Amino acid sequence: MIPYARQSIDDADVEAVVRVLRSDFLTQGPVVPRFEACVADYCGARHGVAVSNATAALHLSAAALSLGPGGLLWTSPVSFVASANCALYCGADVDFVDIDERTYNLDIGALREKLREADARGRLPDVIVMVDFAGQPCDYAALAGLKKQYGFHVIQDASHAIGASHAGTRIGSGTCADVTVFSFHPVKIITTAEGGMAVTNDDALAETLRLLRSHGVTRDPQLMTRGREPWEYEQIALGFNYRLTEIQAALGLEQMRRIDAFVERRRALAARYDAAFEATPVQTPYEAPYARSSYHLYAVQVDARKDVYVSLRERGIAPNVHYMPIYRQPFYEALGFREGYCPRAEAYYARALSLPMFPELTDSQQDAVIAAVLNATEIRA
Ligand SMILES: *Cc1c(COP(=O)(O)O)cnc(C)c1O
């Protein structure tokens, strides 16, 4: 089976992991801070806070921005459930803003309208989670005016988008959001098996993220209220154990050496798909003028999606679908959300198909995928 996504692991990755296994520290050693500095430098951010996965990074970011009971978080329905769940972890409410029908990212026009109505009703969102779907950055220039006007915080869920750029600036540099979150799950751009990171230019926010990552416990004399003895630590907030291990950080550091090559290969594959599907019934993804996508996903729109999906599976190709609108999940429907809430997200989902997209996909494998897709779509045409 050709999968829709897959990690790329080489001998240097294996050796880096083995080196840590033979070292003094398996967790809370010197490699995690080196990985944090490497990712932060790459993005042009002041701070990187490595955590156990991007879901944890979203949770801590929302908590560090003071989201709590009575609070409200908005996000895009076309995302992984974690983009919304972080609100509920904090005891806050969640709501959804429909997508732009070309980029499939949260639509700034719809956001403007919803903010106006929310303002009139007297309940504005505290946090908006912007999701850079498939690796394409959202329209952050248009968002900036609304952020200023209404004063909400922005968490950038860039789980798909490390290595992407917005208006010529790398994602994570702090021009788009208060905090940017990356995922290092094996299907994403680089991997640490499980893993994630929050990057920010805000010193106080970074300190809170670090504190909450490790139980709310500190040994920093500046933060301690009573500790005087050399062995003492203090818990000063209710945190979690969301730490990344040294083993994972070593893998991440090695992967960072190849990140630009990974993104270049993904973009080359996207260009080949674009060319192959031109003037066919397969609707290819649109890249906005301000965006340089990292192409975590290559998400097309096709009619009779199920037939195409089944036909590809029969030919040894495993496509995927990203995403059912989050509010259509049974858990969210039980909170009161109903079909029809975000019509553009639902129309997108009805025809969505993610084709194989990963650095080690060969040209000849991709040609087989293209032939299979064209065959499946043309049978019906
Ligand atoms: C993968 C993903 C996450 C969660 O990442 P984990 O590292 O698996 O927790 C969150 N948001 C989006 C958009 C994702 O694709």
CA of 56 to the centre of ligand 1 (A): 9
CA of 272 to the centre of ligand 1 (A): 27
Say if residue 260's pLDDT is above 80.
yes
Ligand 1, CB cutoff 6 Å, lining residues: 53-55, 79-80, 82-83, 131, 157, 159-160, 183, 185, 196
pLDDT bracket for residue 352 (50, 70, 90): very high
Say if residue 374's pLDDT is above 60.
yes
Q: Bigger pLDDT: 225 or 146?
A: 146
Q: Residue 100: its pLDDT value, please?
A: 98
Which of 55, 96, 189, 242 to mutate for ligand 1's pocket (most ligand atoms within 8 Å of CB)? 55
Say if residue 331's pLDDT is above 90.
yes
Backbone angles phi, psi at 229, to 5 degrees: -85, 150
CA of 195 to the centre of ligand 1 (A): 10
H helix and E strand count, the chain = 13, 14
The string of pLDDT tens digits covering residues 150-193 is 999 999 999 999 999 999 999 999 998 999 999 999 999 999 99
The string of pLDDT tens digits covering residues 106-115 is 999 999 999 9
Q: Residue 379: its pLDDT value, please?
A: 59
Mean pLDDT score, 330-357: 98
CA of 130 to the centre of ligand 1 (A): 13
The string of pLDDT tens digits covering residues 47-75 is 999 999 999 999 999 999 999 999 999 99
Edge-to-edge strands of the sheet including 47-51?
47-51, 196-200, 179-183, 153-157, 127-131, 72-75, 93-96
CA of 6 to the centre of ligand 1 (A): 15
Q: Given the CA of residue 183, which atom of ligand 1 is nearest to it?
A: 7
Q: Given the CA of residue 322, which atom of ligand 1 is nearest to it?
A: 15
Mean pLDDT score, 216-231: 89
CA of 366 to the centre of ligand 1 (A): 25
Q: Residue 227: its pLDDT value, please?
A: 73
Q: Are 259 and 190 in contact (CB under 8 A)?
A: yes
Mean pLDDT score, 189-216: 98
Q: Residue 195: its pLDDT value, please?
A: 98
The string of pLDDT tens digits covering residues 278-330 is 999 999 999 999 999 999 999 999 999 999 999 999 999 999 999 999 999 99
Q: Given the CA of residue 187, which atom of ligand 1 is nearest to it?
A: 1
Identify the CA nearest to 31 among candidates 228, 205, 195, 154: 195
